[in-house]
Each structure stands twice: as C-alpha cells, then as structure tokens.
C-alpha cells in the first residue's frame, strides 16, 4: 500500500506519515504543491491525502489534475477550519472524502480504510484469478476459500503477477518491480520465490496458476479470461 501525502505543516505531516507507516503503509511525503503535483501525476498510489492550502499548487489543483488524467485513486482532502467552500469544491472535483483540521491520525486511518472498502467494491483492491484471490488492502490471500499465509515479499510478487494475467513477466521486470533492483543480482532469487509461491497457492486438485517460460520468465495463467489485461 503506497500513499501520497501532501501537507505543508511539518508537524501535522510527520505525525500523519508516522501513523501511516506504523500501519505498514509506505508514504511519499511532499511539503509543497508543486512536488505534490509531480508525484501525483507521475507515480501510482493506492490513496492520496491532500491538504488544500499549500505553497505552489493547491491541493484542489492536484485533485483536478488527477481526475482530468482519468486517475481514480481514492483521494481524501484535509481542510483548515472555515474552509467549507474548499470541502464542497473538493467533493465536486471528485474527492472521496474530506477531513477538517484538527483531526486524530486514527480518524484519517479510518477514513482511508472506508474509501478503500468502497473502492474494493469496485474490485480495485481485490485481485482474483480462478479460485485464487488477493486483497491488496488486507493482504489476505485465499484459494477456494482457504486462507493462505504470505510473507510481505511473497505477497508483492503474487500481486505483481496477478495484476498482469496471461502476460509474460521477465525476471528483470520482476526484480525491478518487486525488489526494486535495477541490476541482475546474479542469483536465482526470483525462481526461489516463485517456487515458494507455487507451494502455497497450488493446492491439491487445483489448476497450477504460474507458468514457467524457460529462459524468459513467468506468467500467471487466467484460463477464464485468456486475453491479456488491457494496459497491464
Ligand atoms: Ca496548509
């Protein structure tokens, strides 16, 4: 779970950042509107938290740019006391929720979970292939209703494969996306993890979901939807 936080008041910003990180989310923290705009429009996030009044671009301008770019990432705006017009404008621009200052970090966490639940109704946070499903928010994995425990790395790898069904992913792509390596570490790291994943997800009597393409990479097979996902 990756969150973009744009807030110019350092005290609030670092409090929120710490709170989110304690929950296991990774946070990109921008302290002005221009760097916030750059992050929002060039990187991909699972949720965006925007203060309205910022040096440089305002939170509402960032929100507008996101929605104009067809980016439907859940957005929560945080507003100062007396900025009720900003709240209304924010909701009109497509914010999912707003939170007036001052607020407790717990409250923001609750709102984030709520927007996530709503967006997961739209299948944004639930990946599923055949009888295998993975929830990006709760990080729960199950096959035919049977819960499967995963380490964080195993989960990241599984989510990466499931996001691109029927597409061949090379070891290089996997190392970059899952481990952040932009070089070949010269180990069989990927293969070792794939083996572990298979041992966990391929229950007896169920179809094998990860296909090996010798010398190339791996592919998550979605037999029910044989065409590769659009834009994946
Ligand atoms: Ca501010």
Write the CATH number of the domain with boundaries 126-220: 1.10.10.10
Look-up of token digits 């990080």 = 139
Q: What is the mean pLDDT of residues 76-100?
A: 88
Asked whether residue 104 carries a pLDDT value surpassing 70, the answer given is yes
The per-residue pLDDT for 121 is 57
- Who has greater pLDDT, 72 or 232? 72
Q: What is the pLDDT of residues 105-121, one digit of tens each?
A: 999 988 988 887 776 55
Asked whether residue 42 carries a pLDDT value surpassing 80, the answer given is yes
Under DSSP, the state recorded for 228 is: P
Residues in the chain: 232
Q: Which two tokens stand for residue 180?
A: 């952040």
Ion ligand 1, residue ranges at CB < 5 A: 8, 51, 53
CA–chain centroid gap for 220, Å, is 19
Asked whether residue 124 carries a pLDDT value surpassing 80, the answer given is no
Kindly give the distance from the C-alpha atom of residue 188 to the centroid of ligand 1, in angstroms, as a whole number: 48
Q: How far is CA 191 from CA 33, 137, 171, 201, in A?
A: 42, 26, 8, 15
Asked whether residue 33 carries a pLDDT value surpassing 60, the answer given is yes
Kindly give the distance from the C-alpha atom of residue 22 to the centroid of ligand 1, in angstroms, as a whole number: 23
Q: Where in the chain is the domain with CATH 3.40.50.2300?
A: 2-120
Asked whether residue 10 carries a pLDDT value surpassing 50, the answer given is yes
Q: Please state which architecture CATH assigns to domain 2-120.
A: 3-Layer(aba) Sandwich (3.40)
CA–chain centroid gap for 162, Å, is 13
**Which strands, in side-by-side order, build the sheet including 210-213?**
168-170, 217-220, 210-213
Q: What is the pLDDT of residues 153-180, one digit of tens each?
A: 899 899 999 988 999 999 999 998 888 8
Q: Where in the chain is the domain with CATH 1.10.10.10?
A: 126-220
Q: Which two tokens stand for residue 218?
A: 């791996």
């Amino acid at each position: 779970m990756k969150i973009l936080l744009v807030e110019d008041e350092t005290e609030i910003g670092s409090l929120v950042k710490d709170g989110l990180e304690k929950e296991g989310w990774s946070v990109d923290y921008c302290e002005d509107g221009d760097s916030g705009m750059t992050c929002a429009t060039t990187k991909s996030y699972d949720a965006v938290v925007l203060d309205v009044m910022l040096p440089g671009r305002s939170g509402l301008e960032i929100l507008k740019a996101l929605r104009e770019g067809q980016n439907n990432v859940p957005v929560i705006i945080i507003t100062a006391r007396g900025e009720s017009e900003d709240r209304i404008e924010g909701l009109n621009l497509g914010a999912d929720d707003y939170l007036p200052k001052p607020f407790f970090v717990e409250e923001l966490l609750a709102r984030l979970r709520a927007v996530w639940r709503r967006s997961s109704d739209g299948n944004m946070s639930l990946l599923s292939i055949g009888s295998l499903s993975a929830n990006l928010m709760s990080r729960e994995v199950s096959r035919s209703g049977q819960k499967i425990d995963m380490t964080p790395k195993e989960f990241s790898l599984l989510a990466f494969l499931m996001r691109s069904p029927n597409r061949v992913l090379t070891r290089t792509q996997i190392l970059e996306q899952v481990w952040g390596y932009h070089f070949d570490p010269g180990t069989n790291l990927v293969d070792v993890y794939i083996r572990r994943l298979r041992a966990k997800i391929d229950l007896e009597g169920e179809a094998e979901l990860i296909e090996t393409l010798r010398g190339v990479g791996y592919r998550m097979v979605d037999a029910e939807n044989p065409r590769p996902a659009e834009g994946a």
